[in-house]
Chains A and B, each alone.
Chain A
Amino acid sequence: MLDDLLQGFTLILNGPSLLAIVLGLSTGIVVGALPGLSATMAVALLSPFTFFMPPTIGIPFLLGLFKAAIYAGSIPAITINTPGTAASAATTLDGHALARQGHARKALEMSLFASVAGDLLATFVLIGLAGLLASVALRFGPPEFVMLYAMALITITSVAGRDAAKAVLSTAIGLLVACIGLDPMSGAQRLTFGSVDLLGGVSLIPVLIGLFALPEVFVRCEAPFRARTVIAPDRDAPGLTRHEFRRAVPTILRSTAIGTGVGILPGIGAEISTWLAYGAARRRSREPHRYGQGSLEGLAAAESGNNAACPACLIPMTVFGIPGDTVTAVLIGAFIAHGLTPGPLLFQNHGQVLYSLFASLIIGNVLLLVIGWFGIRSFRRITEIPEAILYPIVVALCLAGSFAVNSSVADIGLTIGAGLAGYLMRKLHMPAPPMVIAMLVAPGLENALRQSLTLSGGNATIFLTRPISASLLALIVLGAGLVAWRHWRPLSSTHQEFDS
């Protein structure tokens, strides 16, 4: 493993790759600092540009963009009380409170250090664990993969809470959309309705661009333009002291562990881990009353919790081909376009390239620290870009980017259609991530399911007779039971309230 990593460093330590990482980090900071632009949107939007580059340049750019966008979501959270990305929602609680108290600089510095620390530690876990898990995954057969894919779908549904029915529907739509096109095993046309454009299936990247970028434009247009009050970091204000950082170290370590654990689970990422880390830090704190009032530890918990999930999300993605969250769902598309099909064989067939990407994550953290440290005072200016200029440009880039994937006008229509669907889904409070993850998981799930049933002669007990498959099935039943319990419990209590 260490040899692989060292070889990875030799592949990535060159001018173009380092420049790509710096560009990715800089773009990620701009994207993260602009409320409404998300890491998923940016990775989806910019991944077509990387298809023309070697993987050791294109993918480090996207990975840098991913981690920097998650970090930079804290900048508007602190300065204008609006999270730049959903993963920074918990940061607003203490970050903006600190800014109001005149400690904006301190808050921005803690956010940077906690993000980098969480991300770096989780990257080491990724490097240590991914190779080991891949060697285990190589022994998995089709029934085990069916259970793993099903588990990913259950996990993403389980975080929907009372909206579980909507999440299940979103999953079903994703599975159906993935069925469109030629059946890979028999060559039969499925749900194409005679359209030649649909023979190759629904193109993923244009759908993702439409689903994650365009709905935000609709939503922003709904609300009249709001003036933002920016609390800028005072040049003369004291920065973060060593003592303050040292006090936050246990919180950062705990939050990193939580973020890594959540990130490894397929289907959920930084948006969830940040809240879990914040909640755990508050419960363990000696001063829980300070949380929400400007606690540096609370800020550190939220930021290390969300950034730790970024590299951890790459574990299920690289090992099993199951996206850890929506950003890695988009990254899977980019990996495939670069000829790197995620799954256990990725480590065998493209080990050097893969470890060079892991090395790029470490280098990215060091560079993020440098860029963040020198740019901390000027980042707030990004939040001042007017929406009336930003969103029209985003729309133009969305459509140009979706066309670039296959040079297809139909893809532009697909992006616009997905954008309208995404807007409708947001209005109906229907989560989009289950649909995206289902679209990605469906080909592997269907393939493994058909192989399993063919092996067993159509007998479904094959999933029960193999120990690993049966254990995973037990976990799925437990997870599904939990979803049902969480859904029905508040519903019945609501009924009781109405009855009384």
Chain B
Amino acid sequence: MPESGVVVVSPRLANLVLGSIGIALGAIVIAVLPGQTGAADHRGLLDPSGPGLFPLLAACVSIAAGLWSLVNARADHPSEVDAGQALIWRRSLPVAGWLGLILLGIATVGFLSAVGVATAGLAFSFGQRRLPVLATLAIGTPLAIYLLFERVLRILFPHGWIF
């Protein structure tokens, strides 16, 4: 049963995407594993007490699950649900944008300043248009975080040009 509020893609597309991810992930892990675990070659991964066996098994499970998903994708039919997905995904882009801004802002304007701007921006993306509310969020949220984390818990956030 799809989770409430989520417009999921069609089972066929989901299985195709996940099947490809599972196979690719497993294959990449198996390919790089000898170099990433210090084993001489792929046979060295089979050492029962070595560091390579467990990730190797997990990668095999990933490939098997990927193949299983692809088999399931064959059984499903294309759906019109996917046609509208691009439009729906576009609506959530601002959230990704504001999160990215915070990540960029940490190294430049500082964490708390970035959080202030992004909080107001997110509220705007959620449909809030009243300037006093946006201003309160932009100032109040970082202030509350500053008081709680820096003053009470003594956790210092990375500061930047502004704060």
Contacts and interface: CB of A to CB of B under 8 A. Distances in A.
Interface stretch (A115-123, A355-363, A409-417): A409-417
Interface in A121-138: none
Contact of B59 (A176, A392, A446, A449): A176
Contact of B99 (A49, A188, A416, A450): A416
Most central of A165, A173, A222 by chain B CB within 10 Å: A165
Interface in A454-494: 454, 458, 491, 494
Classify chain A: how many residues form its interface, as a range. 35 or more
Nearest to A404: B155
Nearest to A166: B18
Interface in A417-450: 419-420, 423, 426-430, 442, 445-446, 449-450
Given A166-B69, A495-B75, A400 B115 contact: yes
A450 B123 contact: no
A217 interface: yes
Given A400-B157, A427-B9, A428-B18, A172 B58 contact: yes
Contact of A453 (B48, B62, B102): B48
A412 B65 contact: no
Interface residues of B, number: 81
A386 B7 CA distance: 22
Contacts of A196: none
A224 B149 contact: no
Nearest to A398: B99
Contact of A169 (B65, B115, B155): B65
A217 B61 contact: no
A169 B117 CA distance: 38
Interface stretch (A9-17, A57-65, A179-187, A371-379): A179-187
B100 to A, nearest CB: 8
Nearest to B48: A453
A190 interface: yes
B95 A165 contact: no
Nearest to B50: A186
Nearest to B153: A52
Given A416-B99, A420-B96, A392 B119 contact: yes
A231 interface: no
Nearest to B38: A188
A161 to B, nearest CB: 9
A224 B48 CA distance: 54
Contacts of A396: 115, 118-119, 141-142, 145
Nearest to B21: A169
Nearest to A457: B48
B125 interface: yes
Contact of A189 (B5, B36, B75): B36
Given A166-B69, A407-B155, A392 B122 contact: yes
Top-9 shortest CB links A-B = A453-B48, A388-B128, A175-B58, A169-B65, A172-B62, A183-B51, A388-B126, A392-B122, A165-B68
Interface of A: 36, 49, 52, 82-83, 86, 164-166, 168-169, 171-173, 175-176, 179, 183, 185-186, 188-193, 214, 217-225, 386-389, 391-393, 395-397, 399-400, 403-404, 407, 409, 412-413, 416, 419-420, 423, 426-430, 442, 445-446, 449-450, 453-454, 458, 491, 494-495
